[in-house]
């Protein structure tokens, strides 16, 4: 028999983040790493009989913005707020012709070009790395955007307070603090990995620039809403399917000092919990992330190496909140039956939920090919299986 709700969504999330057992496991949907692809969303709302206009919330990942009816249907306990681009940025998606194909291009503030082919409009990938052939002098001369441009944050406090005062939900920030990944976006992944081994001083020069951007950004962001948000999302992918993407010694020497400086600054300015996103088999790096000062790990890719839910909970559950890990998103959610999805969800929820410290979501965004019946099974099972009494 299903239990009974006795808490508001915000109370439930805060209790969970403090490693205490709430009435039920909180449920999340709608963030940059906990969202739903536009194709899956279109099929889902048809399946549910919910009328909604498709609004793209994340152009690169082609994520839809879920409407309130969908969030309420799935008992979602979170609502998101995010800063924007500065008024001076003349961005926007433009149509271009290259290599005999039509493309939808977006050049971001850093000068990185993201592109989606018109004949396969699923996601945007990088088609121009503006610092691919740069020297350290070029890095310093690059037109880095201003993180503390006040126009980014126009209306942010008002929107955050409206959620905090006018709704029962936990207030969560959009993704930010992407110190490491922006470097390889600018440089190119293969070249960046070569740089880590052959010219680490170049990598450090780039990381100093991205760190400065985010330190400036967070100074204003925390001035505006540091007393309002419950969770702040930061992240960089530092692991892949089979483990860390580069040697942990390199992480400790080059990347970690910047990660730690940012996390400690955020912690000095707010009581909000810090949510860190990295895909992959990140288990060997979890102690480093905890030492940096994070509170929450996402997306908890349970199908990657050494990411078994019960083992993770046993080793790190006292110190770390797990946010995600709800279902095997590589094999079961897109290809299994609803019954198989439900069984997988029950097993993962049972492993993660004891004593609190677990917020349910799929592993990363729900992809476009996932059947709506499986999405319903995902969230309905999480709700039914997540009561503590």
Average pLDDT of the residues of the chain: 97
Q: pLDDT value at position 344?
A: 98
Sole residue written with tokens 């198989």: 340
The tokens describing 162, both together, are 């409206």
Q: pLDDT value at position 389?
A: 87
3-state secondary structure the chain: CCCCCCCCHHHHHHHHHCCCCCCECCECCCCCCCCEEHHHHHHHHHHHCCCCCCCEEECCCCEECCCHHHHHHCCCCEEEECCCCCCCCCCCCEEEEECCEEEEEEECCCCCEEEEECCCCCCCEEEECCCCCCCHHHHHHCCCCCCCCHHHHCCHHHHHHHHHHHCCCEEEEEEECCCCHHHHHHHCHHHHHHHHHHCHHHHHHHHHHHHHHHHHHHHHHHHHHCCCCCEEEEECCCEECCEECCCHHHHHHHHHHHHHHHHHHHHHHCCCEEEEECCCCCHHHHHHHHHHCCCEEECCCCCCCCCCHHHHHHHHCCCCEEECCCCCCCCHHHHCCHHHHHHHHHHHHHHHCCCCCEEECCCCCECCCCCHHHHHHHHHHHHHHCECC
pLDDT digits (tens, 9 = 90+) for 193-236: 999 999 999 999 999 999 999 999 999 999 999 999 999 999 99
2: pLDDT strictly greater than 80: no
53: pLDDT strictly greater than 80: yes
Domains of the chain, earliest start first: 9-86+145-188+202-385 (3.20.20.210)
pLDDT digits (tens, 9 = 90+) for 132-181: 999 999 999 999 999 999 999 999 999 999 999 999 999 999 999 999 99
Q: pLDDT value at position 90?
A: 86
Confidence of residue 39 (pLDDT cuts 50, 70, 90): very high
CB contact set of 103 (below 8 Å; sequence gap of 6+): 95, 96, 97, 115, 116, 117, 118, 127
Q: What is the pTM of this model?
A: 0.96
What is the rounded CA–CA span in Å between residue 125 and residue 48? 31
**Kind of pairing between the strands at 243-244 and 63-64:** unpaired
Q: pLDDT value at position 1?
A: 52
């Amino acid at each position: 028999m299903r239990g009974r709700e006795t808490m508001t969504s915000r109370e439930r999330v805060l209790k969970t983040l403090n490693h205490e057992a709430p009435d039920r496991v909180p449920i999340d949907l709608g963030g940059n790493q906990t969202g739903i692809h536009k194709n899956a969303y279109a099929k889902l709302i048809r399946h549910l009989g919910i009328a909604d206009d498709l609004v793209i919330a994340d152009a690169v990942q082609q994520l839809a913005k879920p409407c309130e009816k969908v969030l309420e249907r799935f008992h979602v306990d979170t609502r998101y707020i995010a800063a924007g681009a500065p008024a001076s940025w003349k961005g926007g998606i433009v149509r271009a012709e290259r290599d005999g194909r039509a493309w939808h291009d977006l050049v971001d503030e850093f000068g990185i070009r993201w592109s989606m082919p018109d004949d396969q409009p699923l996601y945007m990938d990088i088609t121009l790395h503006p610092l691919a052939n740069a020297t350290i002098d070029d890095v310093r001369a690059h037109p880095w955007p201003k993180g503390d441009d006040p126009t980014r944050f126009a209306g942010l406090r008002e929107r955050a307070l409206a959620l905090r005062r006018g709704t029962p939900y936990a207030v969560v920030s959009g993704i930010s603090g992407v110190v490491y990944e922006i470097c390889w976006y600018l440089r190119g992944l293969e070249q960046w990995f070569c740089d880590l081994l052959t010219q680490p001083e170049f990598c450090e020069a780039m990381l100093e620039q991205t760190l400065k951007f985010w330190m400036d950004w967070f100074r204003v962001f925390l001035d505006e809403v540091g007393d309002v948000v419950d969770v702040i999302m930061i992240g960089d992918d530092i692991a892949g399917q089979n483990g860390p993407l580069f040697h942990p010694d390199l992480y400790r020497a080059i990347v970690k000092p910047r990660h730690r400086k940012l996390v400690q600054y955020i912690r000095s300015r707010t009581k909000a919990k810090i949510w860190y996103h990295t895909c992959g088999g990140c288990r060997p790096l979890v102690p480093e992330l905890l030492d940096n000062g994070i509170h929450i790990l996402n997306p908890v890719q349970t199908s990657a190496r050494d990411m078994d839910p019960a083992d993770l909970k046993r080793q790190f559950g006292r110190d770390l909140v797990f946010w995600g890990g709800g279902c095997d998103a590589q094999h079961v959610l897109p290809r299994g039956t609803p019954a198989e999805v439900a069984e997988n969800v029950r097993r993962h929820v049972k492993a993660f939920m004891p004593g609190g410290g677990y917020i349910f979501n799929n592993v990363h965004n729900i992809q476009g090919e996932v059947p709506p019946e499986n999405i319903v099974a995902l969230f309905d099972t999480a709700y039914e299986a997540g009561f503590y009494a």
